């Protein structure tokens, strides 16, 4: 019998990261809880896990700053991406109802994404450390007047009743996750579309950023994302993260990277990985 794939994630059982592990890898896996993103990544670096699944940005809440602080020193490679649909559920004890609850617990982002729904119900929002932790707290406290906003997986794990599904204000809400592995390179399949993620620091010269990314336009490459960030402990230095259409084996991308290097002080390829099927192609 083959050993199950071990996937590290940040959070406790029932968190959206936990749900994303099953959505991406399937049900027959071993999921490993971690307190922080760094802990999850270190499990992969030490071979205690095969992969780490880390959220990098949300459609409504934006990027995950904690992860951006870690990537300059990251030893892992991005080998995949996953878009997890966020479907918030209002849950409580089985004897509770919409008429009896008077407060709702959740992560601040969960509460913000359900602001209008909470107002309509006339219940008091209470910020907690995370969504699944809120569901666990309700279950342990056995308080019939309290409720939580979390995933449907959390309701099953902690034995809670769903009072209202899809309570979020924006129905099409996704979080983008990246899949990390302890590899130096990954085989490229020429029959599928790839994304290459790169981070760099530009030289302190006029128009350095313009010149650095100009090579991608000159080589007819589509930059899917460009974002600046500040690494932890380096407040005076701005770095940039770009996602580009194409694999590292693409000749046009190699030319663009050579141009990029002329205007950068530091440079790192985070990985070339298959483009998620949910992304619209340029032909759509």
Residues 86-120 have pLDDT tens digits of 999 999 999 999 999 999 999 988 999 899 999 99
Give the Cβ contact number of residue 35 at 10 Å.
Answer: 10
CATH number for the domain whose boundaries are 89-164: 3.40.190.10
Most confident of 147-151, 183-187, 203-207, 223-227: 147-151
Q: Which of 162, 229, 237 is nearest to 204 (CA)?
A: 237
243-265 pLDDT per residue, tens: 999 999 999 999 999 999 999 99
Same fold, 5-85+173-181 and 194-274: no
Q: Which residues of 110-137 are buried (b: 16+ CB within 10 A; e: fewer)?
A: bbbbbeebbeebebebeebebbbbbbbb
Q: Which two tokens stand for residue 240?
A: 């940039």
Distances (CA, A) of 4 to 7, 32, 45, 144, 244: 9, 12, 18, 39, 33
14-51 pLDDT per residue, tens: 999 999 999 999 999 999 999 999 999 999 999 999 99
C-alpha 38/C-alpha 17 separation (Å) is: 14
C-alpha 115/C-alpha 111 separation (Å) is: 6
Residues facing 243 on adjacent strands: 197, 225
- pLDDT-derived band at 69 (thresholds 50, 70, 90) equals confident
Contact (Cβ atoms closer than 8 angstroms) between residue 89 and residue 153: no
Q: Range with the lowest mean pLDDT among 63-67, 121-125, 140-144, 228-232?
A: 228-232
Contact (Cβ atoms closer than 8 angstroms) between residue 221 and residue 248: no
C-alpha 257/C-alpha 215 separation (Å) is: 7
Tell me yes or no: is domain 194-274 CATH 3.30.70.260: yes
Judged against a pLDDT cut of 80, whether residue 65 lies above it is answered with no
C-alpha 185/C-alpha 133 separation (Å) is: 36
Tokens 């990261």 found at: 17
Q: Which of 99, 95, 107 is nearest to 148 (CA)?
A: 107
Q: What is the mean pLDDT of residues 132-160?
A: 97
Judged against a pLDDT cut of 80, whether residue 60 lies above it is answered with no
At 237 the pLDDT is: 62
Q: Where are the domains of the chain?
A: 5-85+173-181, 89-164, 194-274
Tell me yes or no: is domain 5-85+173-181 CATH 3.20.20.140: no
Q: Which are the catalytic amino acids?
A: 175, 177
Judged against a pLDDT cut of 70, whether residue 122 lies above it is answered with yes
Judged against a pLDDT cut of 50, whether residue 282 lies above it is answered with no
- How does strand 194-202 pair with strand 264-274? antiparallel
At 229 the pLDDT is: 78
- pLDDT-derived band at 204 (thresholds 50, 70, 90) equals confident
């Amino acid at each position: 019998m083959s050993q199950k794939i071990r996937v590290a994630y940040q959070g406790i059982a029932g968190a959206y990261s936990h749900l994303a592990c099953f959505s991406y890898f399937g049900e027959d896996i071993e999921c490993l809880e971690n307190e922080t993103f760094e802990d999850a990544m270190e499990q992969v670096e030490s071979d205690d896990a095969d992969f780490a699944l880390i959220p990098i940005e949300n459609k409504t809440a934006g990027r995950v700053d904690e992860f951006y602080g870690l990537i300059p020193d990251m030893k892992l490679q991005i080998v995949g991406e996953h878009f997890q649909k966020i479907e918030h559920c209002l849950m409580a004890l089985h004897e509770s109802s919409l008429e009896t609850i008077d407060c709702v617990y959740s992560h601040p982002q969960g509460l913000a994404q359900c602001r209008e729904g909470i107002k309509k119900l006339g219940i008091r929002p209470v910020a907690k450390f995370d969504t699944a932790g809120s569901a666990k707290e309700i279950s342990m406290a056995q308080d019939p007047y309290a409720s939580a906003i979390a995933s449907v997986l959390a309701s099953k794990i902690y034995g809670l009743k769903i009072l209202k599904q899809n309570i979020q204000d924006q129905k099409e809400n996704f979080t983008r996750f990246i899949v990390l592995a302890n590899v130096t390179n990954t085989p490229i399949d020429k029959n599928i579309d790839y994304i290459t993620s790169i981070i760099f620091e530009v030289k302190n010269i006029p128009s350095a950023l313009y010149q650095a990314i100009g090579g991608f336009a000159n080589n007819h490459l589509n930059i899917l994302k460009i974002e600046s960030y500040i690494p932890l402990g380096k407040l005076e230095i701005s770095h940039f993260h770009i996602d580009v259409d194409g694999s590292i084996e693409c000749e046009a991308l190699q030319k663009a990277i050579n141009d990029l290097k002329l205007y950068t002080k530091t440079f790192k390829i985070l990985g070339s990985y298959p483009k998620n099927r949910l992304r619209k192609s340029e032909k759509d």
